[in-house]
Structure 1
């Protein structure tokens, strides 16, 4: 059976990459609006209500507006914006953490943020297992390719080849923090320090752990083993192979994929550790995650169309 999909915001970076992952798939038929009708509220409302599945690839306010336009009980929604990531009634679209069944049966799914995906993948399972405390003031350091900032940031980086590093959210109010705190069950907001580098795509998210100053924590080996067991045989999220040369790299030539590799590095005496997630900000951090949730919601192979 062919299912109809409308991508609201199909010409943006996330929308285009979702479209690429759906190209050639016979399970879905895309409802398309030409340039003249793309911003027409009447045409959009019609498309939003005609589709079995809607994927919102819009700024937050526009995503809320589109979601409110759906006035039937049938259309199921995946929102790739920040708008609904901690909203009641929306299932968080991270099946490995939220539960595959919860995503598969949801009417409304909020796609995780790219940075949040790495942080939550590392911290949430360890807090649930009691290997990390829920009341610790965690720090999260992360770098991303500039494609995650949308068209304006892409244009800025490609026009100014002299930018080597861009630190931002210096007022400590990044929009990913609420979902990072809530989805990990933390009592203290993590201190999040994101940055953008002159690579089109790719992301490294790190959570440093001063283990000797933390009470009731597990050993780095226990953390490693728990994460490996938690993600089990998943072909999307799992433990990465520790680099023999002691380096993790983001390469400018990276073509991207929908996997996420996790690492637990530790000092020789076990007093410190670094939890690290490596992913594609446009893959598991955005479009790949949306397609994974779509597959589950449509009752299809979870990995169909993904780049693994």
Structure 2
């Protein structure tokens, strides 16, 4: 018997990508509302009630409202917004985070899907803070560049109409919405300096964290041990990690690739992560979490 899934906000960038990954699957039955009823409160409430799992692809306030509507229902939720990412009543949807995280997702009623920049930064930081190779109070800097699809429909339209003609930095006030989850799940106590940018390309993301250290071999070993056997997260060998880094290398996949770069002899190392901001950084991660929650093959649709 197929599981019933409702995507609330299925016409947004993330919602459409999730829908595309679920269409045609015999183990999933999609509940969809006609265009003229997508904002109808009664129709949405009925769809929530009929679903085994609802995926929220909504702005933060709308996600909180939807979660409130579902409190009295048995419906399980995956929230793709930032609304619940550090809420202790929600399980963080990064299965590779730590031992027991996948099991926690499997049994959760509420799962918060990670952000794209956050997935990269946390994937690099958490194994290293756990291993004591990065001090929790280190003054860290995080740099990243994402394809413009990460900005949603409005930004996509600006780029595709030619209204934006180059790369640009944003969140220059140092109050980016992903930092609370990066700090919480990366287990760092000092707020990193974060410099994100949008590139003149559609999909793909690279995030890098520079370190003053000579311990590249130990950093690489800790990352490799943490993700050993992982289906979607890999660590490039040290002897292959000095090639040009391409943020679009993993587009249209649910993969995340980590590297340890730089010159350890001179004490300058750069941790690097690449993923598809619409894949493992958003919709791919949501489908992975959905599969885990339903007890299905984790890679189904991916």
| Distance change (3 Å), C-alpha of 1:239 and 1:31 | same
Per-residue CA shift, 1:33-82, capped at 9, x if unaligned? 00011110110111112211000001111111111111434211000000
Q: Where in structure 1 are there 5+ consecutive unaligned residues?
A: 213-218
Partner of 2:72: 72
CA distance in 1, matches of 2:120, 2:180: 14
CA distance in 1, matches of 2:216, 2:242: 20
Partner of 1:119: 121
Task: Judge conservation of contact 2:292–2:298 (CA < 8 Å) in 1.
Answer: yes
| Distance change (3 Å), C-alpha of 1:172 and 1:211 | same
CA distance in 2, matches of 1:182, 1:66: 24
Partner of 1:30: 30
| Distance change (3 Å), C-alpha of 1:191 and 1:255 | closer
Q: SS in structure 2 opposite 1:25? A: coil
Task: Judge conservation of contact 2:241–2:261 (CA < 8 Å) in 1.
Answer: no
Partner of 2:245: 248
Match among 279, 284, 287 for residue 283 of structure 1: 279
Partner of 2:85: 85
Query: How much has 1:243 moved relative to structure 2?
Result: 5.0
Moved over 6 A (4+): none
Per-residue CA shift, 1:226-282, capped at 9, x if unaligned? 11111111120011356577211235x975211000000130515111000000000
Matched, 1:258 2:254: yes
Task: Judge conservation of contact 2:57–2:81 (CA < 8 Å) in 1.
Answer: yes
Match among 211, 226, 229 for residue 233 of structure 1: 229
Mapping 1:130-145, distance limit 5 Å? 130-145=132-147
Task: Judge conservation of contact 2:117–2:207 (CA < 8 Å) in 1.
Answer: yes
Partner of 1:274: 270
Q: SS in structure 1 opposite 2:54? A: strand
Partner of 2:165: 163
Query: How much has 1:184 moved relative to structure 2?
Result: 1.3
Alpha-carbon RMSD: 1.6
CA distance in 2, matches of 1:122, 1:135: 16
Per-residue CA shift, 1:62-109, capped at 9, x if unaligned? 111111111434211000000000112000000100511011111100
Task: Judge conservation of contact 1:14–1:282 (CA < 8 Å) in 2.
Answer: yes
Partner of 1:183: 185
Partner of 2:47: 47
Partner of 2:211: 209
Task: Judge conservation of contact 1:49–1:72 (CA < 8 Å) in 2.
Answer: no
Query: How much has 1:185 moved relative to structure 2?
Result: 1.4
Moved more, 117-126 or 266-275: 266-275
TM-score for the superposition, normalised by structure 2: 0.95
CA distance in 2, matches of 1:192, 1:250: 18
Task: Judge conservation of contact 2:253–2:279 (CA < 8 Å) in 1.
Answer: yes
